[in-house]
C-alpha cells in the first residue's frame, strides 16, 4: 500500500489526512521529540503494526527512534489518531490518552525539571 493510502479500517485517520493542505507531506518544518511515541506505547501497548496504516508510522511501533531525536510533528498527530482507532477511543478517550502521555513527561526527571523552571 502506498504511503499516502490509508485503509478504510481507519476512517478518522483518513478524514484527518484529507484536511491537510499537502496530505502526508504537510508541515515538514514542524518537529517534536520522539519520546512521545515510546511513552504512548508504554502506556497503551499495541501488539503489532496495523495493516493499512501509513507505512511512515511503522518505525514508531516496530523500532522507535531515541527519545531525544526530533521527528515530524505530523507523525505524532497521525500516530495519536491511529492509536485512538486501534484502541476504540472516543473524544474522551483521546483526551485521557494525551493527558496521560503529557503527565508522564511532566513527571519525568528531565522534562519535569525543565517545565517547572519555565
The answer on pLDDT for 112 being more than 80 is: no
Region 90-97: what's the mean pLDDT?
A: 96
Region 8-28: what's the mean pLDDT?
A: 95
pTM comes to 0.86
Phi then psi dihedrals of residue 33, to 5 deg: -80, 140
Phi then psi dihedrals of residue 31, to 5 deg: -130, 155
Q: What is the pLDDT of residue 104?
A: 87
Amino acid at each position: 500500500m502506498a504511503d499516502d493510502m490509508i485503509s478504510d479500517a481507519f476512517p478518522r485517520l483518513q478524514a484527518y489526512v484529507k484536511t491537510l493542505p499537502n496530505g502526508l507531506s504537510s508541515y515538514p518544518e514542524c518537529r517534536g521529540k520522539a519520546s512521545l511515541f515510546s511513552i504512548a506505547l508504554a502506556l497503551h501497548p499495541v501488539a503489532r503494526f496495523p495493516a493499512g496504516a501509513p507505512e511512515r508510522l511503522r518505525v514508531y511501533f516496530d523500532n522507535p527512534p531515541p527519545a531525544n531525536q526530533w521527528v515530524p510533528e505530523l507523525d505524532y498527530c497521525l500516530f495519536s489518531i491511529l492509536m485512538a482507532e486501534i484502541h476504540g477511543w472516543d473524544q474522551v478517550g483521546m483526551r485521557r490518552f494525551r493527558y496521560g502521555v503529557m503527565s508522564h513527561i511532566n513527571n519525568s526527571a528531565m522534562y519535569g525539571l525543565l517545565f517547572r523552571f519555565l
